[in-house]
Structure 1
Amino acid sequence: MGTVLKKKLNNPDDRISQMPDEVLSFMLLLLPSEEAARTSILSRRWRYVWKSSAAYSSSLNLDVVAMRGSPYSYKMSKRYVENTYLLFIEQIKFIKWVDQILQLGYRPTMDSFRLRFYFKKNSADNINRWINMAISKSVKNFDIDLSHFLTLGYCLPNDEFYTFPDWLFTCETGSLVKLLCLKACIFRPLDFKFSALMDLQLDNVLIDQDCFVNFLSSCTNLEKLCLVKCWELLSLKIPGSLFKLKYLAIINCRSLEYIKIDARNLNRFEYRGYPVHFTFLNVPQLSNIIVNIAYGDSSSSEITRVLESISSQLPKLDSLMMNTFRIKEPILPSVVINLKKLVLWIDAYEDTLWGFIPLLHGSPYLHTLELH
C-alpha cells in the first residue's frame, strides 16, 4: 500500500500536484468561484489550497455549493425540507464553514459578497455579522439568496423571512454599493443611503409599497431594475428622477394592478404576469418591449388595452414580443407606426394567430415577423 501511494505522489504525469501551493492558489483565482470551490473535495491539500486562494480573491463567495463541492440532489433537498432537524444540522454546518472561511484574513477591500443558502429570521445574527464584515471591506456588490429550498414549493410564512439590514450601512458605506440582489427576504429601507446603486434585483422579496417608492426616488444612478414575485406591490410608479434607468423587468408580481413609468432613457421593458394598467410618461427612448400576460376569459380585450397604451404612448417602439395563448377573438385595430419587428409566441393547438391580424395591418413598417 505504501509503495502504491509513493508511486502516485511521484507520478511524473501528475505535474499539477508537483506545483507549489502558491502557484495552485493563483491558478484557482483564474477560475469561476464555483469551479474553484469544487477542487476542495479532491483532498486535504486541495481544501487548503482553495481556502488560500479564496483569501486572495476580490470576491467573498459563501455558497453552499462551495461548501459541499456539488449541488443538493432533489431527493436530498426534499429530505431537508421535510425534516427540520436535518435542516438545522445542515445550517449549523454551513455557519461553521463560513466562520472558518472568514478567519483566513481577506484583503482589506473586496468587490463582491455572495451568500447562497436557506436561512430564516432566526439566523439574522449570523447573516448580519457576515454582511457587516463585507461592509468593512468596502464591498460594492451584494448578492444574497436565502431561497435554496423554496424552489421545491415549500412556502415560508411572511413573518419568518429574514430582513435585510440596511441600518448597518452608513451614508459613506452605502454610497459604495453598485449592485444589490436580494432573494427570499424582507427589504424595507428607512434611510436612503444607496445613492450610487446601479443595479437592483429583488426576487420573492417583501417590500412596503410607500417605502419602496421613496427608496427608488433616491436611487438616481439606477440603470437596471428587476422585480420578481414581489407580491406585496399593488402599484408601481417609476419616478422621473431615475433618468439613467435603461432596463426594467417586472415578473410575476401577482398583486400588481397599475404600472406608471416615467424614465426618459428607458430602452427595454419586460412584463410577465396578470393583466395590469400601463401608463407610459416621458419614455422617448423605449423601443423594445416584451409582454407575456396570463390571460383570463377576456384575453382579447386585455391585449387590446395593452396595445392601445403602447400605440398611443410609445412612438419609437420598433420591437415587440408578445404571447398569444388563448386569443380566440380578433383584437381591436391598433396602429404602431414605427414597429419593425414583431415576435409572437403562439399555441400550436389553438387558432390564436388570427386575432393578431389587425395589429399586422396597423404596422406599415413591419419587416420581421417571428412565430415561436
Structure 2
Amino acid sequence: MMKKKRKFNVVHQNENNVGDRISELDNGVLVNILSLLPLKKAVASSILSRRWLYVWTNIFNLNIEAHLITTKRKTKKKNIELESKNLKFVEWLTDVVKKQHKAPKIDQFRVCFRCLGPEFDCFVRDLIEFAMIKRAHKLELDFALGNGDDPILGSKYSFPEKLCQKHIGFESLQVLEVKSVNVSGGVIERLLSNCPVLERLSVYNSPALHGLRVFGRASLPLKCLVIRQCHLVGRIEIDSATNLVSLYIERAFETNLVLRNVPKLFEVSMIDWCNYCTKINVIDQVSCCLSQLEILRVGRIVEVSKIGEVIPNPILTNLKHLHLPVDIRCKYVFLDLNSIVEAVPYLQRLVFMLSYVVSYLDY
C-alpha cells in the first residue's frame, strides 16, 4: 500500500509542475495561432487571462461569419426580436473591427454572411472600406444563402461601385473572391484598373455579370481568372493578358470566349452544365493558345469515337493533363483512344468523367 501511495504522490507532483506552456510563448506566436481562428473565437480568447487580453487585437486574418436573418415576411413581434439580435451583432462587430483591432495591416479579410438582407448594405460597405484601409492582401465576400445559393436569383447584395473609384488600399489587394455578390463587368474592369497587384479574381454566382472584357497591359498582374455559375454571361473577351496562366469558366448557357495574346496561359477549364445547349466548340475558342496548353478540361460531353473532332490535327506536344466527359452509354469508351494518343503524344494524365445525357428520345 505504501508503494502505491508514493507512486501516486509523484504523479500528482508532476501534474502541478506542468503549468500554462502556451501563455509562455511569444506574442508573435500567439497572434499566428489566433489568426487561424474565426474572429468570434479569437476575440473570446481575451477571457483566458490578462496575458491574453489584447493578443487578438493584432491578428492579421479576420474571418467573420454570421447568420444575419432578414426581418421581412415575419410577424411584428418576430421582426423586433430579429432586428434587436442583428443590431447587437452589428454593434459588436463594428466595435471589434473599427475600435479594438490594432494591427496596421491584414493579410486576409473574409466576410461570410447568410441570408443577407438589403438593410445591411451600408454595414458591408463599411467592412470593405475597413479592409481596404488595412491594406488587405486577400478579400473574400461570401453572401450565399444558408441552404445553398439560388443559381437563378443569386444575391441581393451589389458590390459598391463607389469603392471602385477610390484608390485607398486597392494597391495592396492580391486576391479577390466574391460569391453571390452582384458585380457587373464594368465594376470588374474598374477593379482591375485600380488593383495594380491583383493576381487572382474569382466570381461565383453573379446575376449582374452579363459580359466581361479584360484588356491587359504590360503591367497587368492577373494570373488566375475564375468565373463560376454566372449564367447570364454572354461574352468573355481577354486581350493581352500577358501574365494570365489559369482560366476557369463554368457555364450553363452559351458563353462566347475570345482569347488574344495570352502567352503564359497553360491551364484552361471550360465546364458546361447543360451540354445539350452547347453548340460552340471549346477547342475553337482556345485555338490561339492550344499549342501551349498543359492542362485542358472540357466540360462538354463527347463521344469517344468523335474525339478526333474535339482534338485538332496539329500535335499538342505540351498538353499533359486532359479531362473529358463522355457519355456513359457509349460502347467504345475505352477502345477508340488512338486519336488521343496521336494528337497528344506526351499526355501524362487522361481523365474520363462518365456522364449520362438525358435526351427526349429516351422517353
One fold, TM greater than 0.5? yes
Alignment of 1:277-292 (within 5 A): 277-278=281-282, 279-283=285-289, 284-292=291-299
Query: What residue is the counterpart of 1:352 in the other structure?
Result: 333
Q: 2:66 aligns with which of 49, 64, 67?
A: 64
List runs of 5+ in structure 1 lacking aligned partners.
Answer: 1-10, 68-76, 329-349
Query: What residue is the counterpart of 1:157 in the other structure?
Result: 153
Alignment of 1:135-174 (within 5 A): 135-151=132-148, 154=150, 157-158=153-154, 161-169=156-164, 170-171=166-167, 173-174=169-170
Tell me how far 1:290 sits from its aligned partner.
1.9
Tell me how far 1:163 sits from its aligned partner.
1.2
Q: 1:323 aligns with which of 314, 322, 325?
A: 325
Cα distance in 2, alignment partners of residues 303 and 154 from structure 1: 34
Query: What residue is the counterpart of 1:110 in the other structure?
Result: 106
Tell me how far 1:127 sits from its aligned partner.
0.3
Q: Secondary structure at the match of 2:335?
A: helix
Alignment of 1:225-236 (within 5 A): 225-236=225-236
Amino acid at match of 1:16: D
Per-residue CA deviations over 1:219-251 (Å, capped at 9, x if unaligned) read 8210111111111211222212x1000111112
Contact 1:29 1:36 (C-alpha < 8 Å) held by counterparts: no
Cα distance in 1, alignment partners of residues 43 and 108 from structure 2: 24
Contact 1:171 1:193 (C-alpha < 8 Å) held by counterparts: yes
Query: What residue is the counterpart of 2:194 in the other structure?
Result: 193
Query: What residue is the counterpart of 2:270 in the other structure?
Result: 271
Per-residue CA deviations over 1:66-124 (Å, capped at 9, x if unaligned) read x9xxxxxxxxx9xx999896876664454234223212132223332211112243311
Per-residue CA deviations over 1:309-328 (Å, capped at 9, x if unaligned) read xx559553233122223362
RMSD: 4.0
How many residues of Structure 1 are paired with residues of Structure 2 in the alignment? Answer: 316
Cα distance in 1, alignment partners of residues 159 and 50 from structure 2: 32
Contact 2:307 2:340 (C-alpha < 8 Å) held by counterparts: no
Cα distance in 1, alignment partners of residues 305 and 82 from structure 2: 48
Judged with a 3 Å threshold, the aligned counterparts in structure 2 of structure 1 residues 368 and 116 are, in CA distance, closer, same or farther, namely: closer
List runs of 5+ in structure 2 lacking aligned partners.
Answer: 1-14, 354-363
Amino acid at match of 1:115: V
Amino acid at match of 2:140: D
Q: Give yes or no for the alignment of 1:95 onto 2:99.
A: no
Cα distance in 2, alignment partners of residues 108 and 37 from structure 1: 17
Judged with a 3 Å threshold, the aligned counterparts in structure 2 of structure 1 residues 90 and 359 are, in CA distance, closer, same or farther, namely: farther
Contact 1:141 1:180 (C-alpha < 8 Å) held by counterparts: yes
Query: What residue is the counterpart of 2:122 in the other structure?
Result: 125
Q: 1:177 aligns with which of 173, 180, 183?
A: 173
Q: Secondary structure at the match of 2:129?
A: helix
Query: What residue is the counterpart of 2:204 in the other structure?
Result: 203
Q: Give yes or no for the alignment of 1:250 onto 2:249.
A: yes
Contact 2:199 2:223 (C-alpha < 8 Å) held by counterparts: yes
Amino acid at match of 1:227: I
